[in-house]
Amino acid sequence: MAKRTLSQLDVAGKTVLVRVDFNVPIEQGVDVIDQYDQRLRATLPTIEHLLAQDCKVLLCSHLGRPAGQVHETLRLSPVGDRLAALLGRPVLSLADCVGDAVTAAVSAMTPGQVCLLENLRFHPGEESNDPGFAQQLASLADCFVMDAFAVAHRAHASTVGVPSILPAAMGLLTQREVESLGQALAAPRRPLAALMGGAKVSDKILVLENLLERLDHLFIGGGMAVTFLAAQGKPVGASPVETDRLDFARAVIARAAAAGVALHLPQDVAAASEFAPEPARVQTVSVAAVPDDWYIMDVGSATARAFSAALAACQTIIWNGPMGVFEMERFRAGTRTIAEAIAGRPGVTTVVGGGSTAEAIESLQLVDGMTHVSTGGGAALEFLEGRQLPGIAALPDA
């Protein structure tokens, strides 16, 4: 069912509460926040649309996991400072998100001003979806815009409580997420490929269950591939194997064959003598020759080239999960080769799931080469699993 969009919500001259996702990796340091501000940039179109409508714009977000307690290192004011630089106008950062002082500050705002409320998760009522806390947030505004797709899979006060009280709609970012992911699932241009990586098969079980028979090609790399290789009887050295997922991996292999889905697994891998950023020894070996006690760290160069060549024939590509231990510089080659191969291809739809995959694409400076890079890790996965997201379901139908 289509949900109400921002263009269908009367916001002119009103006070609008916008749920954004400014949960940036603040632990990397506020002095380098410009290096990890993609989530702020992604919400700029919605903020600018509201400013053009003479709105008072109230932004609310969480940051980290303070568990209902105030943590000075998780205050949002540094994020507000970066947002002000991106917007080219002041952003008022408040010391709380509810209460008399917040109400007074919002009342004193004039149209065209932007205010960032303090970390929602400083209050236990946010994650418990407390009706009283939702009512306090809702009392600050005339209407609500959901532009935090990354937390749309959470039934929290700011995602499902507030839209049950105020007139509400999807923001431009959330609308783009839902439309891009939805089209890749419902009406893809073919051939359709899924490129799956990341650490664990268990993280992708429901995605594979939902997608497998719809695909033309399935590519598996990253830590996931270790379990699939083990399921085929290949040596995997000391690499962790999800032994409880071996039967599932074998079932996926069988189902892909039965459905005529081309399954692509690594033929060679980058193996290391230690699971470390700078191991003593690294070599590329066939998947039939992984040394005992060594670790599979990345797909090999031949596999990266083979994956890239096969992906070149695909018209829609859904990617979730890096091809290796991307957080270690030495083991980025597989992800980089494949990302560069699929980026910027005219007429090809490339939808990148959020989380570590989005971080990898951003660090490679290839975001603009993809059709859509999701801001949501868990939310994107659940959407691809075919599950209903509470933060979207709570919005009124169009």
Q: Do strands 91-93 and 114-116 pair parallel, antiparallel, or not at all (unpaired)?
A: parallel
CA distance 24 to 36: 7
CA distance 320 to 394: 26
| Residues 370 and 342 placed together within one structural domain of the fold | yes
Q: What is the DSSP string of 73-100?
A: GG-SHHHHHHHHHHHTS-EEEPS-SSSH
> HSE-up of 82 (CA within 13 Å, CB side)?
20
pLDDT in tens, the chain (398 residues): 699 999 999 999 999 999 999 999 888 888 888 888 888 999 999 999 999 999 999 999 999 999 999 999 999 999 999 999 999 999 999 999 999 999 999 999 999 999 999 999 999 999 999 999 999 999 999 999 999 999 999 999 999 999 999 999 999 999 999 999 998 888 899 999 999 998 888 888 888 999 999 999 999 999 999 999 999 999 999 999 999 999 999 999 999 999 999 999 999 999 999 999 999 999 999 999 999 999 999 999 999 999 999 999 999 999 999 999 999 999 999 999 999 999 989 999 999 986 788 889 988 999 999 999 888 888 988 998 888 999 999 999 99
What is the per-residue pLDDT for 90? 97
> Can you say whether the dihedral through the CA atoms of 270, 274, 276, 281 is positive or negative?
negative
In-domain check, residue 398:
no
Which H or E run includes 269?
strand 268-272
Q: Do strands 168-170 and 56-60 pair parallel, antiparallel, or not at all (unpaired)?
A: unpaired
In-domain check, residue 396:
no
| Residues 206 and 136 placed together within one structural domain of the fold | no
What is the per-residue pLDDT for 376? 84
User: Where among 173, 208, 233 does a domain terminate?
Assistant: 173
What is the per-residue pLDDT for 1? 62
Looking at the structure of the chain, the number of domains it has is 2
In-domain check, residue 38:
yes
Whichever domain contains 96, its CATH number is: 3.40.50.1260
| Residues 150 and 51 placed together within one structural domain of the fold | yes
- In the sheet where 282-286 sits, what is the strand order? 282-286, 268-272, 295-299
Tokens found for residue 243? 């032994």
Torsion of CA 15, 20, 26, 32, to 10 degrees: -80
CA distance 196 to 385: 13
Tokens found for residue 320? 């979730």
Torsion of CA 368, 369, 372, 375, to 10 degrees: -50
| Residues 25 and 48 placed together within one structural domain of the fold | yes
Whether 53 and 70 have beta carbons less than 8 Å apart is answered as: no
Catalytic residues: 39, 200, 355, 378
| Residues 203 and 126 placed together within one structural domain of the fold | no
Q: Which domain holds residue 378?
A: 188-384
What is the per-residue pLDDT for 363? 87
Residue whose tokens read 């074998």: 250
Distance set, CA 326 to CA 111, 133, 291 (Å):
45, 40, 21
CA distance 346 to 355: 25
What is the per-residue pLDDT for 32? 85
Distance set, CA 351 to CA 72, 316, 317, 318, 319 (Å):
36, 8, 6, 5, 6
What is the per-residue pLDDT for 13? 97
| Residues 48 and 89 placed together within one structural domain of the fold | yes
| Residues 248 and 355 placed together within one structural domain of the fold | yes
Residue whose tokens read 């510089």: 329
| Residues 130 and 192 placed together within one structural domain of the fold | no
